[in-house]
Amino acid sequence: MQWLFDAYIAIRDFMELGGPVLYVIAMVILWMWVLILERIIYFRTAHHQHVSAESAVWLARQERTSWHATQVRAGMVSRITVAAHGSIPMIKTMVALCPLLGLVGTVTGMIDVFDVLAIAGTGNARSMAAGVSKATIPTMAGMVGALSGVFAAALISRSAAKAVKNLDDVFVAD
């Protein structure tokens, strides 16, 4: 149980070093990964059920060749496509947002450095180093979050494209 407390202390110290912007970056990364996990769970469970349900409705139709039936089929494919792509645009937005928030952390950290320079001059190297650290940690955290999210978003986008690629074959017209 001590290791859990030590991990908490290390994370708390790291978050304090990065300043308040690091908390925002952490929340964005957390929410991004919740959405990524939701998409993974969707593709492993609900997507197949959704396709099966729509396919059963399509196969239960008596008439599948008219213009109206074609429009019904297009609607079914569209609903499945929208469900498959679900929160992928939000994930991609959060991936793009992470480095921008890191840049905001850089600017706020550099403002602290300039405040130290204005007050104490260049003689207080320890305070300047604390400001530089506060500037670089959010940048690093934003880049790490973006890199982890970009790989996951690419995999999920590929899975979504693959899942909807052959839907027209599932809903064949007679």
How do residues 98-152 score in pLDDT, each as one tens digit? 999 999 998 988 887 787 777 777 667 777 777 787 888 999 999 999 999 999 9
pLDDT beyond 60 at 173: no
User: Does residue 174 have a pLDDT over 70?
Assistant: no
3-state secondary structure of 63: coil
Q: Which helix (H) or strand (E) holds 77?
A: helix 67-85
* Chain segment 28-82, per-residue pLDDT in tens: 999 999 999 999 999 999 998 999 898 888 888 888 888 998 898 889 999 999 9
Number of domains in the chain: 1
**What is the C-alpha separation between 112 and 118, in angstroms, rounded?**
10
Closest CA to 164 of 70, 33, 64, 43: 43
Sign of CA dihedral 23, 24, 29, 33: positive
More confident residue, 155 or 173: 155
Cα–Cα distance for residue pair 138/116, rounded to 1 Å: 19
- Residue 119, judged by CB atoms within 10 A of its CB (0-12, 13-18, 19+), counts as exposed
C-alpha–C-alpha distance, residues 85 and 156, integer Å: 9
pLDDT at 24 over 80: yes
* Per-residue confidence band for 160, with pLDDT thresholds at 50, 70 and 90: very high
Say what the pLDDT of residue 14 is: 85
Considering only residues 129 and 93, tell me which one the structure prediction assigns the higher pLDDT: 93
| pTM: predicted TM-score of the whole model, two decimal places | 0.84
Domain hosting residue 71, numbered range: 2-170
